[in-house]
Amino acid sequence: MNNKIFQLIHKVKKLLRKNHLNFSGPFISWDEADMNSSGYDSEIVLKKVRNATREVLEGIKSYERDGTSFVNKPVKNTIISILESENFKNSLIVDIGGGLGSLYINYKNIFLKQNFNYHVIEQKKFCEAGEQLNSEFNLNINYHTNLASIDKQVDIVICSSFLQYVQNWKNYINNILSTKPKYIIIDRHPLKETNNGIFVQLNTGYYEKEVTYPIHILKRKEFLDEFINYEVVNSWSSDFDPEYFKGFLLKIKS
């Protein structure tokens, strides 16, 4: 083999090592999966997300996702295409598991144009880091550690790459439904047509130390059946993940 082939093989192996969508399992229970994972290290994850978000806020990069910053925005982002509709103007949006508010930060002009009232539900450490950025960069993001602290009518709930990491995901969906949002947007959620499975997401080479944690890969029908009194008005495959990662726009039934 010549030098160029060796270089190509090296690049491919490097990309594979950085792929954080590798899994081990399946496991019998969530507890078993948890015992076989190193755990979610919020300090390590927060550090990666905060550094990438700062690059966007400081104009070094244009877009952040999952703690990685990019020079250009993606050609396609289905959530943003949905939110640009006139039907959603002036909405109060709750982005559950929204990090430091990357959806708003990446598309600030669209959020301002649509006059969105944007709220993020996250862990306490993320909320504290978000408030610091909020103050420093004069953002208009509201951070909360739970849904109950939002005392206004919720128009849209976004769950992007979130619910699959919740052990008692059915209970969390019930919490969301209790707020009676007009719309629910699910995105980047792994689903299959057969039985449910519990795995460990490996995140190989993605963080500066090992960070692994349990994940549900659910049966599509069972997952959607939990959204009682909501109908699917749009569905898609993730713009950023393998084909089995799905998205849905759900609307409350009248």
pLDDT of 20 reads: 57
Q: What is the pLDDT of residues 137-148, one digit of tens each?
A: 999 999 999 999
Q: Is the pTM for the entire model greater than 0.85?
A: yes
Neighbours of 252 (CB within 10 A): 14
Half-sphere exposure of 195 (CA within 13 A, CB side): 5
Average pLDDT, the chain: 90
Within-domain flag for 134: yes
Largest separation between any pair of C-alpha atoms in the chain = 65
Within-domain flag for 53: no
- Long-range contacts, stretch 123-128, CB < 8 angstroms, 24+ apart: 123/42, 125/42, 125/43, 125/46, 126/42, 126/46, 126/49, 126/99, 126/100
Domain boundaries, position 105: 20-41+77-252
- The C-alpha atoms of residue 221 and residue 206 are separated, in whole angstroms, by 32
Q: What is the pLDDT of residues 59-103, one digit of tens each?
A: 999 999 999 999 999 999 999 999 999 999 999 999 999 999 999
Q: What is the pLDDT of residues 162-191, one digit of tens each?
A: 999 999 999 999 999 999 999 999 999 999
Within-domain flag for 166: yes
Q: Record the tokens describing residue 212, joined without a space.
A: 């692994």
pLDDT of 8 reads: 46
pLDDT band at 19 (very low <50, low <70, confident <90, very high): very low
- Rg of the chain in Å (alpha carbons): 19
Task: Return the percent helix, strand and coil in the chain, to nearest 5.
Answer: 35, 30, 35
Q: Give the DSSP H/E element, type plus range, for residue 124.
A: helix 124-137
What CATH number does residue 240 fall under?
3.40.50.150
Within-domain flag for 55: no
Within-domain flag for 170: yes
Within-domain flag for 50: no
Within-domain flag for 30: yes
Name the one residue in this structure whose structure tokens are 């980047």.
188
What domain count does the chain have?
Answer: 1
Within-domain flag for 61: no
Interval 180-205 mean pLDDT = 92
Q: Record the tokens describing residue 219, joined without a space.
A: 């049966």
Pick the more confident residue, 204 or 237.
237
